[in-house]
Amino acid sequence: MSTVLITGSSTGIGRRTAETLAAAGHTVYATMRDPGNRDAGAVSDLNTRARSRGWKLRIVELDVTSQASADAAVRHVLDETDGLDAVVHNAGHLYIGYVEAFTDNDVSHLLDVNTIGAHRVNRAALPHMRSRRSGTLLYVGSTIQVTTPPFLGPYVASKAAFDALAVVTSYEVSQFGIETSIVMPGAITQGTNHFPGASHASDLRVAVQYAELDPLVERTHEAHEQLFAPGTTADPQSVADEIERILALPVGSKPFRSVVDAAEAGVDHVMAFSDLTREAFVRRLGFAETLKVKP
């Protein structure tokens, strides 16, 4: 079994993934930004469940907006184990509102959390993985970069950038035996704090000028919930199950991309064509070897 570090493990997909992988026998380091205060309830619950079930699950502090925090978290894992086998990049935050009303600081902060945060964790983990010439980087992306719904502008931009950075990083790390998988969930409206905990634009002076659209913004959560067929739910467990499946696959056989979308928006077809086009272009450039994990 593997040793896995998961970012953003206090709620939603991260929490379910930590529990699912631990139940499957993996050694899991579930990281949270503030385990001593804001996330204390999640820490207590996870620790209780781990003890009662005999899971190898540890809680580690990790703030993805800090390189020092990422370095310390990875160092903690390496001090306690034989090595880090996989990183699940899950930490993220949602913004809802009018694009113009988000200040440059608003947008910069979201990119810092949702995109640069994964890069910081990679910079902490990759020296170890490269030295071992093995490992898996699994990114929890989003179908939203294709569906691009209204009123979620900065979030859409951050997840698109997150995906692009994952793709370009994959070319380089593949030559050191490191695999990449990008799991793209559709809208998750249950079992997570994603929509209820969303932030809003800081520039209220601009936001009020869009007031006639407020009724549309106010039903953003409801609009996503109505995407699903009767009896169908969009639950984080489906994503956690897919992450478990992928990490259990043999080296060299993990899918580069997987779409988990109860809304059935057709993103799997779009991304299949997109990846084929991208791979063909990389081959034309003469870099075909970067598309395969080097043994």
Phi-psi region of 58 (alpha: psi -120 to 50; beta: other; left: phi over 0): beta
Q: How confident is the model at residue 102 (pLDDT cuts 50, 70, 90)?
A: very high
Work out the burial of residue 73: count CB atoms within 10 Å of its CB; fewer than 13 is exposed, 13-18 middle, 19 or more buried: buried
Q: Measured on CA atoms in the order 164, 168, 169, 175, is the torsion positive or negative?
A: positive
Query: What is the signed CA dihedral for 92, 95, 99, 105, rounded to 10 degrees?
Result: -70
Is the per-residue pLDDT at 225 higher than 90? Answer: no
Question: What is the distance between the alpha carbons of residues 184 and 143, in angstroms, rounded to a whole number?
Answer: 5
Give the chain's radius of gyration (CA, Å): 19
- 3-state DSSP assignment of residue 138: strand
Q: Can you read off the two tokens belonging to residue 283?
A: 């081959």
Q: How confident is the model at residue 27 (pLDDT cuts 50, 70, 90)?
A: very high
Is the per-residue pLDDT at 75 higher than 80? Answer: yes
What DSSP designation does 261 have?
Answer: -
Closest CA to 140 of 175, 188, 210: 188
- 3-state DSSP assignment of residue 81: coil
More confident residue, 193 or 156: 156
Lowest pLDDT segment from 182-186, 197-201, 229-233: 229-233
Mean pLDDT of the chain: 95
Give the predicted TM-score (pTM) of the model.
0.96
Question: What is the distance between the alpha carbons of residues 293 and 295, in angstroms, rounded to a whole number?
Answer: 6
Is the per-residue pLDDT at 97 higher than 80? Answer: yes
Number of domains, the chain: 1
SS3 content of the chain, % helix, strand, coil (to 5): 55, 15, 35
Question: What is the distance between the alpha carbons of residues 179 and 185, in angstroms, rounded to a whole number?
Answer: 20
Is the per-residue pLDDT at 261 higher than 80? Answer: yes
Q: Measured on CA atoms in the order 37, 42, 45, 50, is the torsion positive or negative?
A: negative
Check if the beta carbon of residue 102 is closer than 8 Å to that of residue 150.
Answer: no
Q: Which residues pair with 183 in a beta bridge?
A: 140, 258
Helix 236-248, helix 12-23: angle, nearest 10? 40
**Residue 273 CB partners (closer than 8 Å, separation 6+):** none
- CATH at residue 27: 3.40.50.720
Question: What is the distance between the alpha carbons of residues 243 and 19, in angstroms, rounded to a whole number?
Answer: 12
**For range 250-258, the mean pLDDT:** 96
Q: How confident is the model at residue 231 (pLDDT cuts 50, 70, 90)?
A: confident
pLDDT on residue 189: 76
Question: What is the distance between the alpha carbons of residues 161 and 171, in angstroms, rounded to a whole number?
Answer: 16
Catalytic residues, by residue number, are: 155
The residue count for the chain: 295
Work out the burial of residue 286: count CB atoms within 10 Å of its CB; fewer than 13 is exposed, 13-18 middle, 19 or more buried: exposed
More confident residue, 157 or 223: 157
Q: Can you read off the two tokens belonging to residue 85?
A: 């086998």
139-155 pLDDT, tens per residue?
999 999 999 999 999 99
Percent residues over pLDDT 90 in the chain: 90
Q: Which domain holds residue 117?
A: 3-291
Q: Which residues pair with 29 in a beta bridge?
A: 5, 58
* Strand pairing report for 27-32 and 57-61: parallel
